[in-house]
Amino acid sequence: MKFKKVEISAFRIFDDPKDSTFDLTTKSGEAANFVSLYAPNGFGKTSFYDAVEFGITNSINRFFIRSKELEKLADFQLVQNEVPLIRNSKSDTNRETYVKIFTNNNSNPEIFRNFKKHGRQTHDLNFTKKPVSHEFQKVILSQEWIAAFLTEQNGEYRYEKFMEIPELSGINDYYNKLKQACSVHENKKNKLKYDISEFGKSIKHVDSENLLDGINKQIQLLAEKFGEKSLTLLSLTSTQEEIKNLKDIIVNRTISSNREFELIQLLEYVDIAKSGNNSIIGLKSYFSIQEVNQKNDKRILEIQPLLGKFEALEKLSTEVENVKAIKQNHIDNKNRVIKVISDFEEYERLLKDLQEKDRTISQTETSRDDTNKYLSELNRTEIELRSQLETVLKELEGLANKKAKIPEMKVEYERLNNVIQKTEIELGEKKEQVEAKEIEQRKLENTITDLRRIIEEITNGKYPQISKDENPEINELVQNLKRSEQLLSDEKRTINSLESTIKQQEALNQTISDFIKAGLSIVDERQSSTCPLCEQKYDSYNVLVEKITNNKALDETLKTLLAQKSKSELRIFEITTGIKESRKQLSDVYGKQLDGLSIKNQDGMQSLENVKQGIKVIEVELNLLKQKIESQKINLNGLSFDAFEKQIDESTIEADKIRTLLIPKLATNKEAIDKSKELINSFKSKIELLKKEIEVLNKNEKYLTVTDWFNEYLPENEIDRELLIQKDASLAEDIRQLVLKEKEIVERVNNISQQLSSFKRENLLQEESELKKIIHENDTKISGYRYFLKDKLDIDSSQLEETALLKIIEEKQAKYKADLTKTKSSNEEYQKLEKYSDNVWPFLQSEQAKLNLANAIKELDLLEQKVEHVIREERDKAKAYLDNRIKNFFHEDLINKLYHKIDPHPDFKSVEFKANFDTDNPRLDVFVRNIKNENTLVPNLYFSTAQINILSLSIFLATALNSKEYQCIFIDDPIQSLDSINVLSTIDLFRSIVVNEGKQVILSTHDENFHNLLKKKMPEELFQSKFLELESFGKVKSDLN
């Protein structure tokens, strides 16, 4: 599968898909075999490769290799902020994040992958879900992993880096768990052996029968006498859990034996309920106190009405004082109203004067505003006149400049015409060169086509007709081939004749003959010295054939025929081998000629392309010159130089007339503006004087007397003399009513005072307080007695009479005495059972030790006989799989072949990878070996950065070339730190991969020189190449031409 187009939207550095669509096709619309993407660092090369990988695999593997570093980076962000790894954070929120890929795969030509958020994690890429292994990861170079893998000095760390590959991490985790299981297995065995020893020490010899008999008799006694049903009989097989249950029951019953103390306590409570003590009253006191409280409540009800009258008398006295104060306030207000009425005539005169001055100010402001409007119009007129004058002056200046440049323009026009004529002549010469080179190139390509046809015909057994004089070497090879093929034909006819004769002889002894013949046929096929019938080893193949042909089971005639056939088949094999070698020699002769001519053809194509590029440059220059000529004609308005100069003179005269008219108009307008400003200033002075006079009138004392009263008492009404008269009458009526009310309240006070003359308020209050105190104390005693009965004896006495309560107390006393006698007897029997249970515990521990010992021995036997073999065998299988997977991953032969082509080191040219699983932590080491196979080195200790990068590239390319599904290879900036020789070798390697392997190579580079070198070494016409650029951050350059 090859790639034809990649469309990216809102992905990493890319935003708008119209700026980030990568067309990977040639002019014919087919997928390009080689693509170079140039951009400075930071423009989005790596983001392009991330997008392609995400589109195919739904993941970006290099992020998972660096996931720990990314998590540390995320710690510097706020918790609520997300670290965007996939979506472009600057893209419009409505723009979808997706990657669309178009391929040449007929069954699946279009791949669409959109981005979906995965939850509230630090990154928008889900690191909690490990990526699934994908075939595409073999064809996209991950510089992070390869560099870390080779430059890591510790083999254990290198192994860990290698195992970060998703397709290996699972089996490696499984292998580590198996190792851990082996360790746990050994620890478990040692623990069991230790436990077996300890259990043997714990076994004791205890006389158990009599002890169990005593315990069981005591359990039966408790069941029969006290109805204990929770106890069960014990035996030698009783478990530790049953013994624990027995002891728990004894403990519970022993705790229950505290019932004896509780019953004694309850009997004491009964005595207190009858007679009382220092804190609790007795039965008789409880009922006598209740009678006292009833009498005190009755007296309090008599005192409370008298105290109410004393409170009413106090309120009426306060009310009398309030009425007197209100009456005096009304008198003061009435006197103030009379004063305002006397000043009202002067207020009206002042108000009239103020209104007249306000009208004058309003009229003056209107005149001032009209003058301001007129002044604004004059100012606009001045601006327009000055603008017109400035335009005319600029026009005059421009016309003068154009007239001054006319001589210079004439000279430039003549110069451009001369240059155009010379350039057109040079262009014609270049085109003639291109035609000559194209004829030469076609002849060379025809020769190459003939050579390829000859090589193909040689493979099919058809040889060129070359005389000895033309090429002695080829003539001799062709003659030898013809002679060999004639010999081969003769031998085949001989074998056919022998086989016909043998068939006639076989009828004599068919069974034995077939048997011997089959053995001889097997020997001829294998060319082995071991007999396939009896497995006997002979000195050589010829000796074995001789032994079979001399077998006495065949008659002499058949033996002779079979010997002849065997020799003939051997000659056929030798002749066929010779023909293949001679054909290869002949093909190699023509192949060398083809390679030389192919290189010459490529150089010729490059030379031809350079000349064509030169023609394009000349054509561009010629177009520029013609554009300058056209531009000059436009500047002349399509006129001749003399007509253009005359037009300028006429325009100058017209513009000068307009300037002469504008200057007097400006002077007249300026005079009108000055007069308007003087009139506006006079209006301003008059308004300020009137405002000062109004301010003096507003501060007049009589004017303020009237306005202040109305603002205080009638703020929402207009000032009116009639309102003052109405207010004066209203106040007079209010004063009369207050005098009547004061007289009424005084009479009520005198009446109540006579009723209370025989009482004192203080005495009544004191008596009430003392009665309430006595009632409260008695209520506390009654509540305490009731709570005591409820809490201690569970008796509710609130509704009971004295005789009923006494009867209940005496019944409880009799019950508590009977329960006390029974509890004492039960406690004695449980104490006996507790002693028995303490003595049986060591015996049951010894029995448990015996059971544990048997179980431990059984479990140890299971681990040693069954589990250990399975775990170790599974661990060895996982180790073998990992070892084989590592070998398969690196493709050492192919790596060394690629490594030799670039040839980065003069001596160390062979690479080896070795995995070691015998240490506690597995290791993966990389070595390079010298030509003589004498010394090995660790490359990261002795190689330069360039040599390390070449080795990295070789490892990646070997893996990519073995991909069956993808016919493409993605390489991100492969030439960092490479020298010029390495770069040229690397380009030759890419050309070989494209031509010989049929792979599509898509690489990027930050080096513009390398990009241009690729254009020369891998031209579009010969290698179906495509060259792209990023012109800015995340934006594909639309047209390189």
**DSSP track, 627-659:** HHHHHHHHHTTT--HHHHHHHHHHHHHHHHHHH
Bridge partners (DSSP) of residue 7 are: 21, 100
How many separate domains does the chain show? 3
605 and 480 housed in the same domain? yes
952-966 burial code (b ≥16 CB/10 A, e <16): bbbbbbbbbbebeeb
Query: Which of helix, strand or coil describes residue 1000?
Result: strand
Backbone angles phi, psi at 627, to 5 degrees: -65, -35
pTM for the structure as a whole: 0.38
Give me the pLDDT at residue 80, please: 45
Tokens of 330: 């009304």
What's the pLDDT tens digit per position in 925-958? Answer: 677 777 666 666 666 555 666 666 777 778 778 8
774 and 803 housed in the same domain? no
What's the pLDDT tens digit per position in 227-284? Answer: 777 778 877 677 777 777 877 777 777 665 567 788 788 888 888 888 888 888 888 8
622 and 476 housed in the same domain? yes
User: Which residues lie below 8 Å from residue 246, measured CB to CB, with a gap of 6+?
Assistant: 231, 234, 837
Give me the pLDDT at residue 79, please: 44
771 and 814 housed in the same domain? no
In Å, the largest CA–CA distance within the chain is 178
Q: Which residue has the tokens 């315990």?
A: 215
User: Which residues lie below 8 Å from residue 997, measured CB to CB, with a gap of 6+?
Assistant: 961
pLDDT bin (cut points 50, 70, 90) of residue 78 is very low
Is pLDDT of 115 > 50? Answer: yes
Classify residue 787: in a domain, yes or no. no
Is pLDDT of 627 > 80? Answer: yes
Domain, as residue range, for 616: 472-626
Give me the pLDDT at residue 145, please: 55
264 and 310 housed in the same domain? no
242 and 330 housed in the same domain? no
Is pLDDT of 1026 > 90? Answer: yes
Contacts 24+ apart (CB under 8 A), 437-440: 437/604, 437/607, 437/608, 437/611, 438/608, 440/604
**Which of 841, 856, 871 is the last residue before a domain boundary?**
856
User: Which residues lie below 8 Å from residue 578, measured CB to CB, with a gap of 6+?
Assistant: 484
**Cα of 345 vs its chain's centroid, Å:** 89
Give me the pLDDT at residue 76, please: 46
Q: What is the mean pLDDT of residues 446-464?
A: 83
Average of per-residue pLDDT values in the chain: 80
What is the Cα–Cα distance from 460 to 455, expressed in whole angstroms?
A: 9
What is the Cα–Cα distance from 681 to 687, expressed in whole angstroms?
A: 10
**Which of 607, 626, 645 is the last residue before a domain boundary?**
626
> What number of CA atoms fall less than 13 Å from residue 569's CA on the CB side?
17
Give me the pLDDT at residue 51, please: 93
Classify residue 905: in a domain, yes or no. no
Give me the pLDDT at residue 82, please: 57
DSSP-assigned letter for residue 865: I
Is pLDDT of 16 > 50? Answer: yes
237 and 268 housed in the same domain? yes
Q: Choose the weakest-confidence range: 161-170, 188-197, 734-743, 755-764.
A: 161-170
Is pLDDT of 11 > 90? Answer: yes
534 and 587 housed in the same domain? yes
pLDDT bin (cut points 50, 70, 90) of residue 77 is very low
Classify residue 268: in a domain, yes or no. yes
Is pLDDT of 91 > 60? Answer: yes
pLDDT bin (cut points 50, 70, 90) of residue 150 is low
CB 485 within 8 A of CB 462: no
Residue 562: closest CA among 553, 1030, 280: 553
Give me the pLDDT at residue 128, please: 65
What is the Cα–Cα distance from 163 to 161, expressed in whole angstroms?
A: 5
Q: Which residue has the tokens 């007289």?
A: 743
CA distances to 304, 776, 819 from 769, in Å: 11, 11, 50
What's the pLDDT tens digit per position in 540-551? Answer: 766 766 666 666
Stated as kind and residue range, the H or E segment containing 5 is: strand 3-9
User: Which residues lie below 8 Å from residue 155, measured CB to CB, with a gap of 6+?
Assistant: 916, 923, 924, 925
Classify residue 959: in a domain, yes or no. no
Classify residue 352: in a domain, yes or no. no
**What percentage of the chain exceeds 90 in pLDDT?**
8
What's the pLDDT tens digit per position in 879-907? Answer: 787 777 777 766 777 777 777 777 666 66
Is pLDDT of 969 > 90? Answer: yes
Is pLDDT of 552 > 60? Answer: no
476 and 602 housed in the same domain? yes
Give me the pLDDT at residue 236, please: 65
Is pLDDT of 3 > 90? Answer: yes
Give me the pLDDT at residue 483, please: 86
604 and 750 housed in the same domain? no
Is pLDDT of 67 > 70? Answer: no
pLDDT bin (cut points 50, 70, 90) of residue 1002 is very high
Tokens of 94: 């409505």
608 and 733 housed in the same domain? no
Classify residue 451: in a domain, yes or no. no
Give me the pLDDT at residue 980, please: 55
Give me the pLDDT at residue 444, please: 85
Classify residue 769: in a domain, yes or no. yes
Give me the pLDDT at residue 459, please: 82
- Helix, strand, coil shares of the chain as percentages rounded to 5? 70, 5, 20
**Which of 595, 626, 657 is the last residue before a domain boundary?**
626
Q: What is the mean pLDDT of residues 658-666?
A: 83
Q: What is the mean pLDDT of residues 335-341?
A: 85
Classify residue 773: in a domain, yes or no. yes
**What percentage of the chain exceeds 70 in pLDDT?**
82
481 and 609 housed in the same domain? yes
Residue 1022: closest CA among 415, 672, 455, 609: 609
